[in-house]
Amino acid sequence: MSKNREFQWRRLHSLLGIIPVGLFLVFHLSLNFTATGGEENYNNSIGIMEYVPHWLLLIVEWVVIYIPILFHGLYGVYIAFTATHNVKRFGTFRNWMFAIQRFTGVFLVIFIAWHIFQTRIQKALGTDVDFNMMEEIVANPLMLAFYIVGILSATFHLSNGIWSFLVSWGITQSPKSQKIASYVTMVFFVVLSIVGVAAILAFV
């Protein structure tokens, strides 16, 4: 019963990493990508959120974003420090992906917490979250590097997480299907990374 319960928790962890956390990441990076069109374009894009009633926005943020991310992050840290590699089942490449997945997961807990502090919490304290805010943040080269590493960690973690999700949910069972999924998720990683990095560099 204990092993079955843990298996179900891991499946839930995997599912939440895709829906809604993964979908939110894609939306968030896509919204930030509008910064490549200039300050006015970006401010107009994020300004759409102002039309959503504040109470509804809070509910959506907590139910769709914060609670799933909190569970996924904390349980992910638990997995990172308790899981063991499985060389016989997945081979060297997959074990490297496994190790990087765990490392990026732990790093993302720190990065996301800091990003929320610099943006969402500052907004709650009365600071405008706009192009100028992000421009000031990444004006520091160390902070820019921190954000780029954070973005790449997030895009890798999601992309490789999709592969793990397909396996853990029994969608890709054969070695061939898992290999195809590896190629597809790697392409997804590259495309999403370009979008994310281009977006943050637009503020420089």
Annotated binding site: 28, 72, 115, 157
Q: Give the residue numbers of the binding site for heme.
A: 28, 72, 115, 157
Cα separation, 145 vs 168, in Å, equals 33
Q: Dihedral sign, CA of 90, 96, 99, 101?
A: negative
Cα separation, 108 vs 111, in Å, equals 5
How crowded is the C-beta side of 3, counted as CA atoms within 13 Å? 0
